[in-house]
Amino acid sequence: MTLPLLDRDDDVLVIDKPSGLLVHNSEYTRTREETAVGLVRRAWGDAWAPVHRLDRGTSGALIFARGTDAIRAWQAALTEAEKFYLCLVRGELRAAVDVDHALDDEQGVRRDARSRIEPMWTLPDPRCSLVRVQVFTGRTHQVRRHCAHVSHPVLGDANYGKGALNREYRARFGLARLALHAETLTVTDPRTGTPRTFTSPMPPDLAEPIARIREAAGI
């Protein structure tokens, strides 16, 4: 597998991660498998490390940095970054909603979590909406959990969605993945102090099912 490169300089490298690819193996990974870390290091050298994570099912912009100082600096910069995700959700979300709903982290500690979910378009049949989500905190599965919290779970989500509905969208429209895409990151470069924006185009395995859904709705 060759990972598309969105941007690169001496300190930072940004790839376009496909859905289905782990960022790295962990103690919870049952079998060792190909990862974004392994692919990046084989292509560009062993010094690169990811400075944030995306879920296996999420596609989009993923940042790597090189060297301890750069890694720490970019991790710190990402805490203040503007992060936008696109996702297809169940139901008709007709107005933007601000979600301030704390989430348990992986150790069971309750953490503040804030997001804004804004509809781009909504369809009555099939009942779904394409939304853009801005996250203001970086909690595990935040977009998925906040969308489910407001009763608009991300389609294709086996953890927080509805299995029967996911199977319906797979059969009718070919949506065979989590309908969540990390579209845009705007980060202040810690070396230069200037904002940098990294944008990932919506991949075909999400764009094509969405096109079929809109066609079925007569749009």
- pLDDT above 80 for 153: yes
The pLDDT tens digits of the residues spanning 96-135 come to 999 999 999 888 899 999 999 999 999 998 999 999 999 9
pLDDT score, position 108: 85
The pLDDT tens digits of the residues spanning 44-56 come to 999 999 999 999 9
pLDDT score, position 211: 97
Which structural domain range is residue 91 located in?
Answer: 5-216
- pLDDT above 80 for 188: yes
Q: Is 55 a catalytic residue?
A: yes
Q: Find out whether the peptide bond into 126 is cis, omega within 30 degrees of 0.
A: yes
pLDDT score, position 106: 83
pLDDT score, position 111: 93
- pLDDT above 90 for 190: yes
Q: pLDDT band at residue 4, thresholds of 50, 70 and 90?
A: very high
pLDDT score, position 30: 60
Into how many domains does the chain fold?
1
pLDDT score, position 178: 98
Mean per-residue pLDDT, 135-156: 96
pLDDT score, position 121: 96
Q: In the 3-class helix/strand/coil scheme, how is the chain assigned residue by residue? A: CCCCEEEECCCEEEEEECCCCECCCCCCCCCCCCEHHHHHHHHHCCCEEECCCCCCCCEEEEEEEECHHHHHHHHHHHCCCEEEEEEEEECCCCCCEEEECCEECCCCCEECCEEEEEEEEEEECCEEEEEEEEECCCCCCHHHHHHHHCCCCECCCCCCCCHHHHHHHHHHHCCCCCCEEEEEEEEECCCCCCEEEEECCCCHHHHHHHHHHHHHCCC
pLDDT score, position 202: 97
- pLDDT above 90 for 2: no
The pLDDT tens digits of the residues spanning 28-74 come to 556 678 999 999 999 999 999 999 999 999 999 999 999 999 999 99
CATH number for the domain spanning 106: value is: 3.30.2350.10
Q: pLDDT band at residue 27, thresholds of 50, 70 and 90?
A: low
Catalytic, out of 11, 55, 100, 205: 55
